[in-house]
Amino acid sequence: MNKKVLFIGHSYHKKTASSKFIEQMLQEKYEVECVYDESWLHSEKGFDSSSFNLDDYYAIIIWQIADLLPSDFIAELSKRNTIFFPMENYWDDWNKWKKYKKFKIISFSKFNYSKLKQWGFDVQYFQYFPKPKETPFDLKKNRYTVFFWQRVNALTWKEIKRLINYKDIEKVILHKSVDPGHQFLMPSAADIKKYNIEITEWFNDKAELEDKIAQVDIYIAPRITEGIGLSFLEAMAMGKAVVAVNMPTMNEYIEHRKNGYLFDIHHIHQINFSDIESIRKNCIKSVERGFERWNAQKQEIYNIVERHYSPNRKLLFKQIIQDACRKAVLKAKRILKEATPFLIIMLRQRYLRTNMRNKGHRLDERIL
């Protein structure tokens, strides 16, 4: 019988199918039981860790949602064979990452990998690529169809229309299906007419979404940062010209004006798509090469599941000590700040008492 593995994911990914590839891969070797957190649907209902016995599983896989899990459950998982696939960039925030220091971490972001490796975490980097499925495109086009799926408040139609010249655009497909906790920005009636905007809602079958993306020339990546970015990778696998913010992981896959387009979210300028034909050809080639590398390397993921936890203990201990020192300094500063008013009052009272005594001594001397 295969070893039993518990896969803990986000129920939203059942809708997007963004965790399907790793679930299927694990199922090739293990008996996988999937549990999905639904706290985003019921804010008053947290993750129920009492519904299963961790002793029943050889390994526990956390797919992205560790931040949503109760701290006592994270502490319990730290004692077991737990593998964490982070999907967030916490930048250089040790306080965000430190609770995962006893997990084996598989990162699809080189940015995250480099940071965690420097801290001594047991972390391995892989660059995932989906299977190429290039869609034919018209080489003689001078006006293009754009697909944008708004998922977050930080990247909306307001920003997108600054990237594109309406004279270059034949049609815009605007997909209305935001991530939990975000709000969709509806274009104005004037923009809908000017850019020939078609608004789509969530499809019952992911194949319908893929068919819609297959019709376009340009795909605009939907988030500011990604831990992997499956949506834009699937667009690249179709040979689309992907436009993305110049941040991880998009800039780990896309080289500006080579196999896609990158832009600065804080300084948005219109993109010239005159080289789109070569961009699309280079894009599909980069995915083909990447998919070969992924197929050659993915066996190593099984090895990580099977092997023992192996951090760089020297670096990890150094980071823990530095963190303890930072906390001690901050605590001392806070105590000093809180105590300062009382110290000033005490010193002033002492000064006044000393001054009064001195005056008394001088008066006695004059009398004598």
Is residue 185 a part of any domain in this protein?
yes
Tokens encoding 152:
């977050």
CATH for 212: 3.40.50.2000
pTM for this model (two decimals): 0.85
Length of the chain: 368
If one counts every other C-beta atom within 10 angstroms of the C-beta of residue 10, the result is: 21
If we measure between CA atoms, which residue out of 267, 230, 223 comes closest to residue 247? 223
Of 230, 260, 286, the residue that ends a domain is 286
The single residue listed with the structure tokens 């086009």 is: 141
Q: For the chain, give the longest Cα–Cα distance.
A: 114
CATH for 316: 3.40.50
Is residue 342 a part of any domain in this protein?
no
Q: Are residues 244 and 307 in the same domain?
A: no
Go through 198-230 and write b for each residue having 16 or more CB atoms within 10 A of its CB, e for each that does not.
eeeeeeeeeeebeebbbebbbbbbbbebbbbbb
Q: Show pLDDT as tens, one digit a residue, over the chain (368 residues).
A: 689 999 998 877 777 778 899 999 999 999 999 998 887 666 556 677 788 899 999 999 999 888 888 889 999 999 999 999 998 777 788 999 999 999 999 999 999 999 999 999 999 999 999 999 977 777 678 899 999 999 999 999 999 999 999 999 999 999 998 988 899 999 999 999 999 999 998 777 788 888 999 999 999 999 999 988 999 999 999 999 999 999 999 999 999 999 999 999 999 999 999 999 999 999 999 999 999 999 999 889 999 999 999 999 999 999 999 999 988 888 888 887 777 777 677 777 776 777 666 656 554 555 55
Q: Are residues 109 and 171 in the same domain?
A: no
Is residue 13 a part of any domain in this protein?
yes
Quote the pLDDT of residue 287.
97
Q: How far, CA to CA in Å, does 315 sit from each of 86, 101, 164, 280, 311? A: 21, 12, 46, 43, 9
The single residue listed with the structure tokens 């809708």 is: 15
Q: Are residues 268 and 310 in the same domain?
A: no
| Residue ranges making up the domain that contains 259 | 144-286
Is residue 102 a part of any domain in this protein?
yes
Q: Are residues 114 and 152 in the same domain?
A: no
Q: Are residues 225 and 170 in the same domain?
A: yes
Is residue 136 a part of any domain in this protein?
no
Q: Are residues 149 and 105 in the same domain?
A: no
Q: Are residues 108 and 177 in the same domain?
A: no
Q: What is the dihedral of CA 297, 298, 300, 305, to 10 degrees?
A: 160
Is residue 340 a part of any domain in this protein?
no
Q: pLDDT for 299-313, tens place per residue?
A: 899 999 999 999 999
The set of long-range contacts for 15-20, using a CB threshold of 8 Å and a minimum separation of 24, is 15/202, 16/206, 16/230, 16/231, 17/206, 18/230, 18/231, 19/63, 19/64
- Evaluated on CA atoms 32, 33, 34, 35, the torsion sign reads negative
Q: Are residues 216 and 311 in the same domain?
A: no
Is residue 139 a part of any domain in this protein?
no
Q: Are residues 119 and 240 in the same domain?
A: no
Residue pair 27/300 in contact (Cβ under 8 Å)? The answer is no
Q: How far, CA to CA in Å, does 275 sit from each of 271, 278, 360? A: 10, 6, 93
User: For the chain, how many structural domains are there in total?
Assistant: 2
Is residue 356 a part of any domain in this protein?
no
Residue pair 110/249 in contact (Cβ under 8 Å)? The answer is yes
Q: Are residues 182 and 307 in the same domain?
A: no
Residues 301, 297: Cα–Cα separation, whole Å: 8
Q: Are residues 89 and 14 in the same domain?
A: yes
Burial of 51 (0-12, 13-18, 19+ CB in 10 A): exposed
Q: Are residues 188 and 275 in the same domain?
A: yes
**Angle separating helix axes 230-237 and 276-297, nearest 10 degrees:** 110
